[in-house]
Amino acid sequence: LKEVPRQQGLSVSRDAVEDELVSMQAQAMQRGEKFKESEARPRIEAQMEREMVLDWLQAKATIKLVEPGEAEETPEDILGASPEELAAAALSTDDAPAAAAPAAAAAPPPPPQPVPAPPAAAAQDESASAPPGGFEWGETF
């Protein structure tokens, strides 16, 4: 809701905010309550902007009523493949054409490769890379 006014050039007029402030101040005085314009103004502006955006969205929206049980479009219908297949295709390193991506995505991804142990030469300089608390690098528990 915060981006719609900026994108559509919608803004609340100062006169409308002032009119609402005067009205709220008069109501507060009738009830014998304190009224701080500095606290009320941001709330009034935010409320009026929210109402304006919702009115704009309602005027521009197209609502499609669907009866219960009617077949709805699934992501697969819209995208041509399941989201999982598309994600796997996007992550694959193949240079296969986009049309073949859903078929290639059906194959399971290869297992991750183990991380190689550091070379023995790196272990010689222990003073610069000594592990804290007596632990040793490269060991598993």
**Residue 9 zone, left/alpha/beta (φ > 0; ψ -120 to 50; rest):** left
pLDDT in tens, the chain (141 residues): 778 888 888 899 999 999 999 999 999 999 999 989 999 999 999 999 999 999 988 888 887 777 776 666 777 777 788 888 888 888 875 555 554 445 544 566 666 666 666 555 444 544 555 656 655 656 555
Tokens 């609340």 belong to which residue? 12
Dist CA 95 CA 79 (whole Å) = 20
Token reading at 60: 């521009």
0.75 exceeded by pTM: no
CA gap 63, 90 in Å, rounded? 33
